[in-house]
Amino acid sequence: MLGDLEQVVLLAVLQAGDNAYGVPVQAEIRRRARRTLTLGTIYKTLARLEAKGFVASRLGESTAERGGRAKRYYTLTPAGRQAVRGSLAALRRMSAGLDVGLQAP
């Protein structure tokens, strides 16, 4: 079972698609989850996810606007996708038939 932070970060990486490095991931989380996470928190979570084998990373290009520093892109591994799927399915099953205002009006 994924932790709350892990779940949010994994989904944000998926949402960011091919462009999943720190800045877009942070933006996706702010936009969709309406949460402000520091980059430190995000990278730490990604490091943990990488250690668990749920995401993989590669170094990208270094650009002038980044002061010459390379980006680090993240993608979900098959195990990561499996974990997200499992986690969401569990939420759905847990909430099925409950009236907590999730159903469409």
Query: Residues interacting with another protein, by CB under 8 A?
Result: 21-23, 26, 38-41, 43-44, 47-48, 51-52, 59, 62, 65-67, 69-72
Long-range contacts of 92-95 (CB under 8 A, 24+ apart): none
Written as six digits, the tokens of 23 are 């800045």
**Helix runs in the chain, H state only:** 4-16, 22-28, 39-52, 78-95
Quick one: 34 or 69, whose CB is closer to another protein? 69
Quick one: 39 or 90, whose CB is closer to another protein? 39
Closest distance to another protein from the beta carbon of 95 (Å): 30
Closest distance to another protein from the beta carbon of 61 (Å): 10
Quick one: 33 or 57, whose CB is closer to another protein? 57
Closest distance to another protein from the beta carbon of 4 (Å): 16
Closest distance to another protein from the beta carbon of 103 (Å): 38
Q: Bin 11: left if φ > 0, else alpha if -120 < ψ < 50, else beta.
A: alpha
Q: 46 with 9: CB under 8 angstroms?
A: yes
Quick one: 7 or 71, whose CB is closer to another protein? 71
Cβ-in-10-Å burial (0-12, 13-18, 19+) of 61 comes to: exposed
